[in-house]
Amino acid sequence: MRRREPREDLPQLRSFRDPPGPTPTLADMQRRTPGGWLWVYCEAAGCHHRAAMAIAPLVIRWGPHADVDRLRRSARCSRCGGRGAMLQHPSWGDSQRGFEAFPTRRGK
């Protein structure tokens, strides 16, 4: 098979062998996340707790140039007390609802 030359007018895809890019900052996450919030999942074994977290207070506390790894390392679970978290953007509902809204407590 003949190897094709890359076209300059098309975006080049990254390979899994490429080194990772820079870690996003809190400002990057706030810009890219619909509604300015995300899900934070506890990484402690067996806990499986998740909580919604607004990004704005983190930007105020640590500054917009802090990287999201700071949040991943320092997040503490409100259920088990464990440290460390996985972050996830809100889910897409459908074309009528759009992205998932920030969850609110009801009945209290």
Task: Check whether 72 has a pLDDT greater than 50.
Answer: yes
Let me know if residue 53 belongs to a domain. Answer: yes
Distance from the first to the final alpha carbon of the chain? 66
Let me know if residue 55 belongs to a domain. Answer: yes
Let me know if residue 61 belongs to a domain. Answer: yes
- HSE-CB of 37 using CA atoms within 13 angstroms: 14
Let me know if residue 76 belongs to a domain. Answer: yes
| Global pTM value | 0.72
- DSSP helix/strand/coil, 2: coil
Let me know if residue 6 belongs to a domain. Answer: no
Q: How far is Cα 98 from Cα 95, in angstroms, rounded to an integer?
A: 5
Let me know if residue 59 belongs to a domain. Answer: yes
Task: Check whether 1 has a pLDDT greater than 60.
Answer: no
Name, in order, each residue with C-beta under 8 angstroms of 74's C-beta and a sequence gap of 6 or more.
83
The total of structural domains in the chain comes to 1
User: Which residue range(s) make up the domain with 47?
Assistant: 26-92
**How do residues 87-108 score in pLDDT, each as one tens digit?**
998 887 777 777 888 887 754 4
**How do residues 3-30 score in pLDDT, each as one tens digit?**
666 556 555 555 667 677 788 999 999 9
Let me know if 85 is exposed, middle or buried by CB neighbors in 10 A (0-12, 13-18, 19+).
Answer: buried
Name, in order, each residue with C-beta under 8 angstroms of 49's C-beta and a sequence gap of 6 or more.
41, 42, 77, 78, 79, 80
Let me know if residue 81 belongs to a domain. Answer: yes
Let me know if residue 49 belongs to a domain. Answer: yes
